[in-house]
Amino acid sequence: MQPSAAIIGAGPAGAAAAVLLARAGWRTTLLESRPFPRIKVCGECISPAATPQLHRLLPPEHLRRLGAVPVSTFSLHLHQPSSTRTLSWHMPAPTWALSRGTLDLALTTLARDAGAVIAQPATVRAVHYHADHVALTTADGHTLTADLVIHADGVGRHDAPPAPPAPPAPTPTPSRPGVLGLKCHLRPPTPFTDLAMHALPAGAGYLGTVPIEDNLVTVALVARTSALEPFGNDFDAALTALWPGFDPAWRLAAASPWVACGVAASGYRPPGHLRSFRIGNAAAAVEPVGGEGIGNALWAAETLTGLLTAAAPLSCASLTAAQHALARAYRARVRVRRPACRTLAEVLMRPRLLGALWPLLQAAGTADRAPHAQPAPGAPWVMAPWWHLLGKAGG
Ligand SMILES: Cc1cc2nc3c(=O)[nH]c(=O)nc-3n(C[C@H](O)[C@H](O)[C@H](O)COP(=O)(O)OP(=O)(O)OC[C@H]3O[C@@H](n4cnc5c(N)ncnc54)[C@H](O)[C@@H]3O)c2cc1C
């Protein structure tokens, strides 16, 4: 009989793993606590470093049918008391932008079509580990058994307790203290026509916008909670202060609420049991400034699926080998991405520092007069090394 897997979480990591394992003939159950489509804190740009993995699941024509937008320009804005300065670059490779509501639903539908059982809404409350199987308990009291469990829950809360003397507590993905991630959808009166990702350092934070399907624009913001405190829960007021071009009516027209969450950050965290695997944010999280999270999730799903299908029939030795190979691949994947994205985030959170670096960037960018005008090609030497560093140029 084919092996079985229970996957916790139908974000890009879990849903993609469910598609690939089900296609490989595994008996696959995907458990997701929220009904889809749902709004999720995310900048909604998929790194070109994962375009091959994305296209193997959702080919370009499928993405276009879903309304995904190929973003080809990156614009950096710097607001100063007297003026706003803008620099733009053509991206070495386009990056797809699509709402998480649409993306996660599309991947989950593919998983169902491939033969996976989708349990939704179903919240996993506990995982019990045995020598030859795992048993998951859901909030409504059901129990599911499988050969192994894949934690793709973004937080990794239901992992095996680590062996003594470490504290026998679950180990959720740590979030950066004092920092909040926020997101909403906007509908400007005239759609953004420049197919550009815009980034803006915004006093103790940074924000990004990108056009997505249905003429909507995603705005995602990472900010220190101390900078948000004066605004209470009025995130429109916060955004108006941080982004002078923002009009709160754009958000109301899109009927999108603000959603907020912590900003996960961690190196690779191995699971605590041979029959437990982590992928996506549950395994490792990179600062969201680089737009690497979804890409890492898709890459991890494909990498793990390849290792598991090669490990069948499952044995202690083959599972151990898969665990070690995943850990090696993950550590290599985040070795450069984590410090690079963290450094960029720290620069963007300091508008003065960015102002000091501006002349250097200016030598390599294209100055725009209008904030959303189509740029002429900028010199490639700012974007290209960054994209090579993060593996984006190969997409
Ligand atoms: C402000 C911000 C902006 C970002 N911008 C980008 C960007 O532009 N591009 C990009 O690539 N990444 C971005 N990211 C990161 C990206 O959102 C994450 O890396 C990505 O969502 C991780 O995917 P995942 O599948 O691992 O987890 P998630 O997307 O978090 O999915 C986990 C799923 O598990 C479910 N779940 C949790 N617990 C349980 C349970 N007990 N039982 C059942 N289901 C459960 C959840 O409901 C959820 O659907 C951003 C993040 C932030 C905070």
What is the residue with the minimal CA distance to atom 1 of ligand 1? Answer: 181
For residue 192, the model assigns a pLDDT of 67
Per-residue pLDDT of the chain (395 residues; tens, 9 = 90+): 899 999 999 999 999 999 999 999 999 999 999 999 999 999 999 988 889 999 999 999 999 999 999 998 888 888 877 778 888 888 777 899 999 999 999 999 999 999 999 999 999 999 999 999 999 999 999 999 999 999 999 987 777 766 555 544 556 778 888 999 999 999 988 776 778 899 988 778 899 999 999 999 999 999 999 989 999 889 999 888 888 788 889 998 888 899 999 998 889 998 889 999 999 999 999 999 878 999 999 999 999 999 999 999 999 999 999 999 999 999 999 999 999 999 988 888 888 888 888 888 877 666 544 444 444 445 455 566 677 777 776 54
Atom of ligand 1 nearest to the CA of 262: 53
How much of the chain is helix, strand and coil, in % rounded to 5? 35, 25, 35
Q: Side chain identity at 161, as an amino acid letter?
A: P
Which domains, ranges and CATH numbers included, belong to the chain?
A: 4-389 (3.50.50.60)
Which one, of 42, 44, 17, lies nearest residue 118 by Cα? Answer: 17
Q: Is 154 touching ligand 1 by the criterion CB < 6 Å? A: yes
Interatomic CA distance for residues 251 and 249, integer angstroms: 5
Q: Is 117 touching ligand 1 by the criterion CB < 6 Å? A: no
For residue 370, the model assigns a pLDDT of 46
Q: Is 293 touching ligand 1 by the criterion CB < 6 Å? A: yes
Atom of ligand 1 nearest to the CA of 182: 1
Q: Is 382 touching ligand 1 by the criterion CB < 6 Å? A: no
Largest CA distance in the chain: 70
Please report the beta strands in the chain, taking only residues with DSSP state E, as ranges in sequence order.
4-8, 27-31, 45-46, 69-79, 84-97, 117-119, 124-129, 134-138, 143-146, 148-151, 175-186, 196-201, 205-211, 217-224, 259-264, 276-278, 366-367
Q: Is 57 touching ligand 1 by the criterion CB < 6 Å? A: no
CA of 325 to the centre of ligand 1 (A): 24
Q: Is 54 touching ligand 1 by the criterion CB < 6 Å? A: no
Interatomic CA distance for residues 34 and 11, integer angstroms: 10
Kindly tell me the burial class for residue 83, based on how many C-beta atoms sit within 10 Å of its own C-beta (0-12, 13-18, 19 or more). exposed
Interatomic CA distance for residues 19 and 99, integer angstroms: 19
Q: Is 184 touching ligand 1 by the criterion CB < 6 Å? A: no
For residue 15, the model assigns a pLDDT of 98
Which one, of 21, 14, 20, lies nearest residue 119 by Cα? Answer: 14
For residue 383, the model assigns a pLDDT of 65
Answer whether 46's CB lies under 8 Å from 107's CB.
Answer: no
Q: Is 10 touching ligand 1 by the criterion CB < 6 Å? A: yes
Interatomic CA distance for residues 9 and 154, integer angstroms: 7
Pocket test for ligand 1, best of 7, 20, 33 (most atoms within 8 A of CB): 33
Three state DSSP letters for 3-51 = CEEEEECCCHHHHHHHHHHHHCCCEEEEECCCCCCCCCCCCCEECHHHH
